[in-house]
């Protein structure tokens, strides 16, 4: 097993160094969602990678030259393709932005598999998943959004469908239950949610991009862009509103190290453990006997064989013997002091008596 420790990340190195925009584009068929996605390739963000669940990127000009449209033949391939692009061999392509076309196609395909499993399990051709099963299914499938919108660290466009308004209240079929869920799940992973529609204004049919949900102060709900709008138009509007403190094209140079320097811990000296032979020699050198050690081992550690004492037990007996030695030495010193004082007192008494006799004789 390797003892290599993972370096600690410096939290200050995770301050944003590059601006990006993560948006959901929703609309009906034929309003230009896929063409808007293609415009990311010309926004100066780097090479575009489209995860094409609907397999329509073949209709877009420049596939394979100015961007890569990867067709997803089976929904289970999507997480694998994303892992390939973000952390696998696809990193060599140096993708600068990503798009998923579309989230509704992926979600509905996986949801249909769950409905089929529920009906097979219950042997009921009309069975529907419970609310708990729907919530669990949604949490698992949102791992795709988490990887793209959060972990990639790039600008991302997620294409989605507009749910049929009021349909979920009239019909309790699969589509009517799934589409509202996809919208409620997607909104938490994007900065802004845009609805695209074709509208007649001033006698002309124009394409309208309207902000319907926003987590960015640069885009207020209700804000509109009309005409042949591209991803660059949204980027330019963000730059005007927020300034160029964070660049869009290339990240700022790091101002602090990405990892924290490991400070060496001070070395502590561990005393060498005392052996039983050394304990015996110490005890006998101060007038104790081996029998005294045996008695102490029985009394304090319930061990009759002193050669089976653990290092901790030997250390404990050594501490007790050292305490006895110090006490014995202190008692001996006190006795010597008392004896010296008594002897000095006798000498002084004899001297005083002799002096008295000399005075009388005088």
pLDDT digits (tens, 9 = 90+) for 36-67: 999 999 999 999 999 999 999 999 999 999 99
Sorting pLDDT into bands at 50, 70 and 90, what band is 178? very low
Helical packing angle, 311-361 and 290-301, nearest 10°: 120
Report, as an integer, the average pLDDT of 23-42. Answer: 93
Pair 197, 204: CB distance under 8 Å: no
Instruction: For the chain, give the longest Cα–Cα distance.
Output: 154
Nearest to 12 by CA among 252, 247, 245, 257: 257
Count the neighbouring beta carbons within 10 Å of the beta carbon of residue 111: 23
Pair 63, 69: CB distance under 8 Å: yes
Pair 41, 47: CB distance under 8 Å: yes
pLDDT digit string (tens) for 141-157? 888 999 999 999 999 99
Domain extent listing, the chain: 16-242, 276-361
The percentage of the chain sitting over the pLDDT mark of 70, rounded to a whole number, equals 83
Q: Which two tokens stand for residue 112?
A: 């249909």
Question: What is the rounded end-to-end Cα distance, in angstroms, of the chain?
Answer: 102
- CA-atom Rg of the chain in angstroms: 43
φ/ψ region of 282 (left if φ > 0, alpha if ψ in -120 to 50, else beta) reads: alpha
| 255: three-class secondary structure by DSSP | coil
Distance, CA of 346 to CA of 165 (rounded, Å): 120
pLDDT of residue 337: 65
Nearest to 138 by CA among 162, 107, 159: 107
Distance, CA of 72 to CA of 78 (rounded, Å): 6
Count the neighbouring beta carbons within 10 Å of the beta carbon of residue 341: 9
Nearest to 19 by CA among 219, 192, 216, 246: 246
Q: Which two tokens stand for residue 202?
A: 């001033």
| 155: three-class secondary structure by DSSP | strand
pLDDT of residue 340: 60
pLDDT of 95 above 90: yes
Distance, CA of 129 to CA of 229 (rounded, Å): 40
Sorting pLDDT into bands at 50, 70 and 90, what band is 333? confident
Worst-scoring range by mean pLDDT, 14-28, 38-52, 58-72, 103-117?
A: 103-117
Q: Which two tokens stand for residue 240?
A: 């005007």
pLDDT, the chain, mean: 84
Q: Which two tokens stand for residue 282?
A: 């110490």
Distance, CA of 300 to CA of 307 (rounded, Å): 15
More confident residue, 223 or 330: 223
pLDDT digit string (tens) for 258-284? 888 877 767 666 677 888 888 888 888
Distance, CA of 266 to CA of 32 (rounded, Å): 65
pLDDT of residue 276: 86
Q: Which two tokens stand for residue 142?
A: 């949102």
Q: What is the dotted CATH code of the domain comprising 16-242?
A: 3.40.50.300
Range list of β-strands (E), the chain: 22-27, 47-52, 67-71, 95-101, 155-160, 192-201, 204-214, 224-226
Pair 207, 228: CB distance under 8 Å: yes
**What is the phi/psi pair of residue 352, to 5°?**
-65, -40
pLDDT of residue 51: 97
More confident residue, 288 or 270: 288
pLDDT of residue 352: 59
Pair 54, 70: CB distance under 8 Å: no
Pair 317, 296: CB distance under 8 Å: yes
Residues in the chain: 362
Pair 52, 101: CB distance under 8 Å: yes
């Amino acid at each position: 097993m390797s003892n290599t420790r993972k370096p600690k990340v410096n939290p200050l190195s995770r301050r944003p160094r590059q601006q990006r925009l993560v948006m959901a584009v929703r609309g009906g068929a034929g309003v230009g969602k896929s063409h808007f996605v293609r415009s990311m390739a010309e926004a100066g963000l780097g090479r575009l990678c489209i995860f094409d669940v609907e397999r329509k990127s073949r209709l877009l000009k420049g596939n394979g030259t100015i961007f890569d449209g990867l067709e997803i033949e089976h929904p289970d391939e999507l997480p694998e393709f994303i892992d390939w692009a973000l952390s696998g061999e696809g990193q060599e392509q140096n993708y600068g932005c990503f798009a998923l076309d579309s989230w509704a196609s992926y979600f509905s395909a996986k949801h249909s598999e769950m409905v089929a499993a529920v009906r097979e399990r219950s042997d009921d051709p009309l069975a529907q998943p419970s609310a708990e099963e729907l919530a669990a299914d949604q949490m698992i499938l949102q791992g795709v959004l988490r990887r793209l919108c959060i972990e990639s660290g790039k600008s991302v466009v997620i294409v989605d469908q507009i749910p049929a308004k009021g349909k979920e209240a009239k019909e309790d079929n699969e589509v009517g239950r799934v589409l509202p869920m996809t919208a409620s799940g997607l909104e938490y992973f994007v900065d802004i949610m845009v609805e695209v529609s074709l509208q007649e204004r001033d006698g002309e049919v124009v394409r309208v991009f309207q902000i319907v949900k926003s987590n960015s102060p640069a885009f207020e709900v209700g804000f509109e862009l009309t005409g042949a709008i591209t991803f660059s138009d949204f980027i330019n509007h963000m730059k005007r509103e927020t300034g160029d403190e964070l660049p869009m094209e290339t990240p700022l140079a790091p101002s602090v190290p990405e990892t924290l320097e490991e400070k060496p811990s001070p070395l502590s000296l561990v005393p060498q453990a005392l052996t039983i032979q050394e304990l015996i020699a110490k005890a006998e050198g101060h007038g104790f006997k081996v029998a005294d050690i045996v008695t102490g081992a029985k009394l304090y550690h319930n061990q009759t064989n002193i050669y089976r004492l653990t290092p901790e037990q030997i250390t404990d007996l050594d501490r007790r013997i050292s305490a006895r030695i110090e006490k014995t030495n202190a008692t001996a010193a006190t006795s010597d002091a008392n004896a010296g004082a008594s002897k000095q007192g006798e000498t002084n008494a004899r001297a005083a008596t002799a002096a008295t006799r000399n005075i009388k004789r005088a």
